[in-house]
Amino acid sequence: MPARNNNRILVRDARQALDNFKYEIANELGLNYNGDLGELTSRQNGYVGGYMVKRMINQAENQLAGQPNNQQNMSQ
């Protein structure tokens, strides 16, 4: 049975930015991410997705607090 992707991009123009963000995060984690063609384990894909969410939450919190976006404000 083929996998179904129920994730929808709410802002159509954000798709490319999210793809670029995914590659950026994978690179930071030292993973060779080539569009997830089955080369990464589920755990590695989870790291990429989890770190993306962590970074996006941090950026949103900084924006709400009126602070510039920087990674140094991220707590581990």
With the CA atoms of 29, 38, 59 and 70 taken in that order, what torsion angle do they form, in degrees rounded to the nearest 10?
Answer: 20
Q: Would the pTM of this model clear 0.85, i.e. be above it?
A: no
Structural domains of the chain, count = 1
- State CA 62 to chain mean position distance: 17
Assigned domain for 54 exists = yes
**CA gap 51, 62 in Å, rounded:** 16
pLDDT tens, position by position, 15-73: 889 888 988 999 999 888 776 667 788 898 899 999 999 999 999 999 999 877 665 55
pLDDT the model gives residue 33: 77
CB 57 within 8 A of CB 50: no
Domain containing 22 equals: 14-68
Assigned domain for 3 exists = no
Assigned domain for 6 exists = no
pLDDT the model gives residue 40: 83
pLDDT the model gives residue 38: 75
pLDDT the model gives residue 76: 46
Assigned domain for 73 exists = no
CB 27 within 8 A of CB 33: yes
pLDDT band at 10 (very low <50, low <70, confident <90, very high): confident
